[in-house]
């Protein structure tokens, strides 16, 4: 398969509340395949820390990355619930409804919701 297929849709912490970003991958020049991925971790104090880690990884695979916005994810693995909310100061608010659709591909047995709440 393509290198893009090898990129995971979602890489988030297994538990807790943390910042996340929605990232669009595409081939340089804008032609061909493109897709959106979700990345989030409590290790990142700011949203751009996540992007600064993802971007070089994806460039190595031959993709251009664009951050579509950010927010927060509340991941409750015990109750199998994920809540997507908030926004990024630097990148603006991601389209949380898009994020939820991507999360549902991976966390198929979860209840996943989103809101524009700040916290």
Q: Give the pLDDT confidence of 87-112 residue by residue, as tens digits.
A: 999 999 999 999 999 999 999 999 99
Residue numbers in the known binding site are 19
CA distances from 88 to 33, 34, 72, 75, 77 (A): 27, 23, 8, 18, 24
Domains of the chain: 10-115 (3.50.20.20)
CB of 23 closer than 8 Å to CB of 51: yes
More confident residue, 117 or 102: 102
| pLDDT at res. 2 | 64
| pLDDT of amino acid 55 | 97
Return the active site residues: 47
- Annotation: binding site for substrate: 19
- Taking Cα atoms as reference points, which of 35, 36, 114 lies closest to residue 71? 114
Which class for 100: exposed (0-12), middle (13-18), buried (19 or more C-beta within 10 A)? Answer: middle
pLDDT at site 4: 67
| pLDDT surpasses 90 at 41 | yes
Burial of 45-69, coded b for 16+ CB within 10 Å and e otherwise, reads: eebbebbeebbeebeeeebebebbb
Total-model pTM: 0.94
State residue 102's pLDDT score.
98
């Amino acid at each position: 398969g393509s290198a893009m297929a090898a990129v995971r849709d979602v890489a988030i912490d297994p538990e807790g509340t943390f910042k996340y970003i929605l990232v669009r991958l595409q081939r340089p020049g804008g032609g061909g395949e493109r897709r959106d991925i979700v990345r989030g971790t409590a290790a990142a104090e700011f949203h751009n820390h996540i992007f600064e880690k993802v971007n070089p990884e994806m460039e190595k695979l031959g993709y251009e990355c664009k951050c579509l916005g950010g927010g927060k994810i509340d991941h409750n693995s015990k109750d199998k619930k994920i809540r997507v909310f908030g926004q990024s100061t630097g990148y603006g608010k991601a389209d949380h409804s898009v994020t939820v659709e991507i999360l549902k591909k991976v966390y198929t047995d979860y209840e996943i919701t989103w809101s524009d709440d700040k916290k």
